[in-house]
A = this chain, B = another copy of it.
């Protein structure tokens, strides 16, 4: 799974929920600029961050990773 796929999945799920990078950052206790870097595939997250993002999106961490696998 290329690193870009996680970012694409994150962006798709965020947009599906109709929330901004700022709102997702607020919900996940992460800075908006970090969300932006993740979505563009410039940063690779730790499993801990994947969990925080998944919780903020209302899905499981495995569900978020599976979405990234589908995005390949």
A60 with B51: CB separation less than 8 A? no
Interface residues on A, range: 10 to 19
Chain B residue contacts of A63, Cβ below 8 A:
62
Copies, count: 2
Give the interface SS of chain A, mostly helix, strand, loop or mixed. helix
Chain A, 28-71, contact with B by CB distance < 8 Å: what is the 0/1 string?
Answer: 00000000000000001111101100000000111101101100
Q: Of B44, B48, B51, B69, which is within 8 A of A62 by CB? A: B69
**Please, how many angstroms separate the alpha-carbon atoms of A3 and B3 in the complex?**
23
Question: Hey, which bits of chain A sit against chain B, CB under 8 A?
Answer: 1, 3, 6, 44-48, 50-51, 60-63, 65-66, 68-69
